[in-house]
Amino acid sequence: MQVINVTIEAIHNNRVTDGLFSVEGLWTCDEGFSIIPGYGDRDRIVATLEVDEGRYDAEGDSYIADLLNVLRGDLVQSWIDE
């Protein structure tokens, strides 16, 4: 398995927070994630995770949603850190 760093941006809610804590071993920094206030009526969460490159390449955001056990609509975007 080839590992890459993927940064995600998601809507701040309990599903996303619980999902991020469930994959704490994949965090790339000790803090885990940041909460960015004030995107309209909702805050955003930004986190960088170490994930399987093959699955991310094949499935994209659906893989991240499945990994975190969140709804696909909870994810705003994701991108590979190079």
Task: Give the model confidence (pLDDT) of 23-82 as tens digits.
Answer: 999 999 888 899 999 777 789 999 999 999 999 999 999 999 999 999 999 999 999 876
pLDDT band at 2 (very low <50, low <70, confident <90, very high): very high
Interatomic CA distance for residues 36 and 58, integer angstroms: 29
pLDDT for residue 44: 95
Q: What is the pTM of this model?
A: 0.90
Tokens describing residue 82: 């190079």
